[in-house]
Structure 1
């Protein structure tokens, strides 16, 4: 399938991608978050966003690197928000 001159990923292929990357991305996220349930949720949100945006990748390496970068960014945003909320509680 083509969409806007780019290959469109099928749901079946996306499910395969999810099944291949999800476990390792959860372990990766957990190294930042130190809470496996939260890590799983963050990784799942990344997959949903990529699916909704119909992100197209140049190749498999680009795709894998992209997921790791986005998961890392989401973890850092989560920790930043958590830290800000924690400080706000202590200041009040």
Structure 2
């Protein structure tokens, strides 16, 4: 029992980060990781050391199952959502490699560069929305404009980013969860 406690406390946060990388939902990630640990506990007699690679693969597989289940539960899915789920499934299937961090960094820099190319007023509003997670009403109040003006500026920003980001745009939408806001 003590060994399981040490394993759980040592790996839980890291495994949640792994799961979040694939399913972009913190609550669902915690559920996935807890399910993996329940499975580890139930099969503790067959577990062998080292266990880290097994835990990572188990989390990846559970994430894939979660995404498949999510796809089945959605009655109608837009093309963008379908494409994003496919990207997530492909990402889970790929092995991590040393260049993954550089790819993520390149993606962040591409977003930052694209946002900086927006017109001044649009960029200011978009940055408040994107990076400071402010609502339309909060942005409107801070800038002494109407919430509908904020909404229009966000739409203009998204339209310009679609052009500037090209193939990266669906991933951008997924990461920043614009479809849910």
One fold, TM greater than 0.5? yes
**TM-score, normalised with respect to structure 1:** 0.77
- The CA deviation string for residues 54-84 of structure 1, in whole angstroms up to 9 with x for no partner, is 2321x22xx1000000100000010011012
Q: What is the number of equivalent residue pairs in this alignment?
A: 76
Instruction: Show structure 1 runs of 4+ deviating over 6 A.
Output: none
**TM-score, normalised with respect to structure 2:** 0.40
Match of 1:51 in 2: 41
Q: Establish whether residue 75 from structure 1 lines up as the match of residue 63 from structure 2.
A: yes
Q: Which of the two has higher C-alpha Rg?
A: 2
RMSD between aligned residues: 1.3
Instruction: Work out which of the residue numbers 45, 51, 64 in structure 1 matches 2:52.
Output: 64
The structure showing larger relative contact order (alpha-carbon pairs under 8 Å, at least 6 residues apart) is 1
Instruction: Work out which of the residue numbers 9, 12, 16 in structure 2 matches 1:26.
Output: 16
Instruction: Work out which of the residue numbers 65, 76, 80 in structure 2 matches 1:90.
Output: 76
**Structure holding more strand per residue:** 1
